Amino acid sequence: MTKKPKVVVIGGGSGISVVLRGLKYLPIDLTAIVSVADDGGSSGALRKEFDSPPPGDLRNVLIALSDVEPIIEDVFQYRFEKGTSLGGHPLGNLLILAMHEITGDIGEAMYRLRKLFNIKAKILPACPEKVVLYGEMEDGEIVEGESKIPTKDKKIKRVFFKRNIKAPELNLKELEDADLIVFGIGSLYTSVLPNLILDGIKQALKKNKGKVVYVCNAMQQPGETLGYTAYDHVKALCDVIGNGIIDEVIVDSRAIPQETLDRYKKYQGGRVIVDKEKIEDLGIRVVDRDILEVDSRGMVRHHPYKLAATLYSLIDKWGDFYV
């Protein structure tokens, strides 16, 4: 039986979808662990009304991993007109909510939807319950709610849950057995870190014998990482999971067109500077690759296929696979 490398991607928002969109075509055993801390927009409304984990990030991951992505995207992202009883809700959110109501378990709901749409990769909610994320600002203010944390325009000290929430055993087993674990891309404090502060995650990462990689954001995010360098991103992760866990950080230090940078400056979001030596002082290797592009809207994005190729090249022990 052919053994494929096990790759686990952890994140949320639209960032994790970019990573998965390229990886799904590679001959790997792929798992996505997806944040369920979102409380804004349709997801927030549905989670409040139905006491359910928010479906938005899970919807985006389903779309990204689908073999018929453009068709699924058109259907899943379709929003009913505002002013109606379903106003503002994407169809994909309602489908996930319905399956959750049928099964009574968000993990089982995602398993059935994977089978329904013939998605080979595993999609695992970061935790099976509705959670509330809190942020502590540097000035001591406590902010309740994932969507409200970035609106304060203050430096974030940490994010936390008010009680201990354990990650599912299946998620921990996937992390322990992975040949490659990928953090990011996405909002550092509200998409990536909420997954890592769950009980059991730090221990599972320590037990892992493979490689842990962080894909660093290319641009600063107002409300979360304004003024942050690549080292600052890495340090925030290490403050939660400890030193010696992250093996490599993927960046792209190549020049971005000035007109694009000027456009970002209007929204106070500048380039994330790659301070390679400071990262390497932590014992972490910096992998600098040509993986960025400027899309049709003038936004800086990670190219999903170039990023996937870079990640694939970082897998170790090739003699153990495809034999």
Q: Is 29 within the bounds of a domain?
A: yes
Q: Which domain range does residue 47 map to? A: 39-125
Tens of pLDDT, residue by residue over 130-145, are 889 999 999 999 999 9
pLDDT for res 121: 96
pLDDT above 60 for 1: no
pLDDT for res 85: 62
Q: What is the DSSP string of 166-185?
A: BPPHHHHHHHHH-SEEEE-S
- Report the number of distinct structural domains present in the chain: 2
Give the pLDDT mean for 194-199. 96
Give the pLDDT mean for 179-185. 95
| Mean pLDDT computed over every residue of the chain | 90
Tell me, yes or no, whether 268 and 137 share the same domain: yes
**Residue that terminates a domain, selected from 90, 106, 125:** 125
Contact predicate 65/119, CB 8 Å: yes
Provide the pLDDT confidence category of residue 313 given band limits of 50, 70 and 90. very high
- Report percent pLDDT > 70 for the chain: 93
Q: Is 44 within the bounds of a domain?
A: yes
Whole-prediction pTM = 0.93
Tell me, yes or no, whether 114 and 166 share the same domain: no
**Residue that terminates a domain, selected from 125, 157, 187:** 125
pLDDT for res 44: 62
Tell me, yes or no, whether 190 and 53 share the same domain: no
Tell me, yes or no, whether 76 and 135 share the same domain: no
Contact predicate 13/187, CB 8 Å: yes
Token digits for 116? 């329904």
Q: Is 1 within the bounds of a domain?
A: no
Q: Is 84 within the bounds of a domain?
A: yes
Q: Is 255 within the bounds of a domain?
A: yes
pLDDT for res 209: 94
Query: Whose CA is closest to 249, among 232, 225, 270?
Result: 232
Tens of pLDDT, residue by residue over 240-287, are 999 999 999 999 999 999 989 988 887 767 899 999 999 999 999 999
Give the pLDDT mean for 229-241. 97
Tell me, yes or no, whether 154 and 278 share the same domain: yes
Tell me, yes or no, whether 227 and 141 share the same domain: yes
Q: Which helix (DSSP H) or strand (DSSP E) does residue 238 occupy?
A: helix 230-241
Contact predicate 291/250, CB 8 Å: yes
Tell me, yes or no, whether 115 and 170 share the same domain: no
Question: If you search the block for the tokens 């490689």, which residue do you land on?
Answer: 211
String of b and e for 118-149 (b: at least 16 CB within 10 Å)?
ebebbbbbbbbebbebbbebeeeeebebbebb
Provide the pLDDT confidence category of residue 83 given band limits of 50, 70 and 90. low
Query: Whose CA is closest to 267, among 297, 233, 226?
Result: 226
**Residue that terminates a domain, selected from 62, 95, 125:** 125
- List the CATH number of the domain containing 305: 3.40.50.10680
Tell me, yes or no, whether 220 and 240 share the same domain: yes
Tell me, yes or no, whether 115 and 261 share the same domain: no
Contact predicate 66/117, CB 8 Å: yes
Give the pLDDT mean for 15-35. 95
pLDDT for res 40: 65
Cis peptide before 185 (omega within 30 of 0): yes
Tell me, yes or no, whether 45 and 10 share the same domain: no
Tell me, yes or no, whether 120 and 141 share the same domain: no
